[in-house]
């Protein structure tokens, strides 16, 4: 028996280790929180599909012991939609970077949320494109230094939770790597939610975003997450200037609305009855 009572062997493809993530990268913390949530809600491994995009975060599905799939960049939610429609009994977990989810995959995000299809979206937001060398992404804060904004970024960032919420997602929450237990709690709620659920995990990339912006070591970046996070209720009383370089945390939605595959199944039943 191993020191972890078999937890690691149960959920990780240990033959694929060591992983590729840099020392201090936040990805490991988020994936740890996710598998603890999966274990706590007792998802059946044989009935769970993990799909991840292309990027550092995209490597996650390869390390996890579930039915796993890595489609082309930005198409995680498109494939997830097909898999869930083919077999609504499956738990479908989509792991995406902020680039994968909100730039090349942005259109799929808004439509998956609009349909309220019952999949769980896990977004690892490290504010840049990690795998390709630290270019700016749609969530890069203004004034940040990236490989493609060497004099400071001028675009306003997307708020992925706001985007999901206004598009129709029925469970939306955000936390960060300094609070792994809160992440686990949100993941549990998302995994058991009926409808489109999105949890955004603010995550550290010390090697690129951190280095280019002089944010310090992985440990220092991790501690800074705590200082940047503002509870939703407190944020409502703050000005946009006060919220600059901060992010709000909490649950933004937890609503009941008809789930897409259930409605689709009803249409199939209806057509079958009319035909017979």
Contacts to ligand SF4 by CB under 6 A = 21-22, 25, 27, 56, 126, 130-131, 205-208
Tell me which stretch binds ligand TPP (CB under 6 A): 43-51, 122-130, 213-221, 231-239.
122-130
Q: Under DSSP, is residue 64 helix (H, G, I), strand (E, B) or coil? A: strand
CA quadruple 257, 260, 266, 271: dihedral sign: positive
Give the nearest residue (CB) to ligand TPP: 97
Q: Roughly how many angstroms between the first and final C-alpha of the chain, as a whole number? A: 57
Q: Tokens in use for 215?
A: 């944010």
Tell me which stretch binds ligand TPP (CB under 6 A): 6-14, 127-135, 164-172, 267-275.
127-135
> Residue 207: which of ligand SF4, ligand TPP, none does it interact with, CB under 5 to 8 A by kind?
ligand SF4
| Residue 73 contacts ligand TPP per CB under 6 A | yes
By the 8 A CB rule, do 198 and 175 touch? no
DSSP H helices in the chain: 7-11, 27-40, 60-63, 76-86, 98-99, 106-115, 160-167, 180-191, 211-212, 218-228, 232-235, 260-275
Task: State which of residues 57, 61, 70, 188 lies at the interface with ligand TPP (CB under 6 A).
Answer: 57
Tell me which stretch binds ligand TPP (CB under 6 A): 7-15, 39-47, 49-57, 142-150.
49-57
| Residue 26 contacts ligand TPP per CB under 6 A | no
Query: Looking only at residues 91 through 120 of this chain, which bind ligand TPP when binding is defined by CB under 6 A?
Result: 97-100
């Amino acid at each position: 028996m191993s020191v972890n009572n078999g937890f690691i062997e149960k959920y990780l493809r240990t033959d694929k280790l060591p992983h590729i993530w840099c020392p201090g990268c936040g990805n490991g913390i988020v994936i740890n929180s996710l598998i603890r949530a999966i274990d706590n809600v007792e998802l059946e491994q044989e009935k769970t599909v993990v799909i991840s995009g292309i990027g550092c975060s995209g490597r996650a599905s390869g390390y996890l012991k579930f039915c796993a799939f890595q489609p082309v960049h930005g198409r995680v939610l498109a494939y997830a939609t097909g898999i869930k429609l083919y077999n609504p009994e499956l738990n479908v977990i989509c792991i995406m970077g902020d680039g994968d989810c909100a730039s090349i995959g942005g259109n799929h995000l808004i439509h998956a949320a609009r349909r309220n299809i019952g999949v769980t979206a896990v977004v690892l937001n490290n504010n840049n494109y990690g795998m390709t060398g630290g270019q700016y992404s749609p969530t890069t804060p203004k004034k940040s230094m990236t490989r493609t904004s060497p004099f400071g970024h001028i675009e306003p960032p997307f708020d992925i939770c706001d985007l999901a919420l206004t598009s129709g997602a029925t469970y939306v929450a955000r936390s960060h790597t300094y609070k792994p237990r809160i992440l686990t709690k949100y993941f549990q709620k998302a995994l058991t939610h009926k409808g489109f659920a999105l949890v955004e995990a603010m995550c550290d990339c010390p090697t690129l975003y951190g280095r280019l912006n002089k944010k310090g070591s992985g440990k220092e970046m991790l501690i800074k997450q705590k200082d940047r996070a503002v509870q939703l209720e407190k944020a409502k009383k703050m000005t946009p200037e006060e919220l600059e370089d901060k992010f709000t945390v909490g649950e933004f939605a937890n609503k009941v609305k008809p789930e897409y595959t259930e409605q689709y199944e009803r249409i199939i039943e209806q057509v079958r009855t009319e035909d017979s």
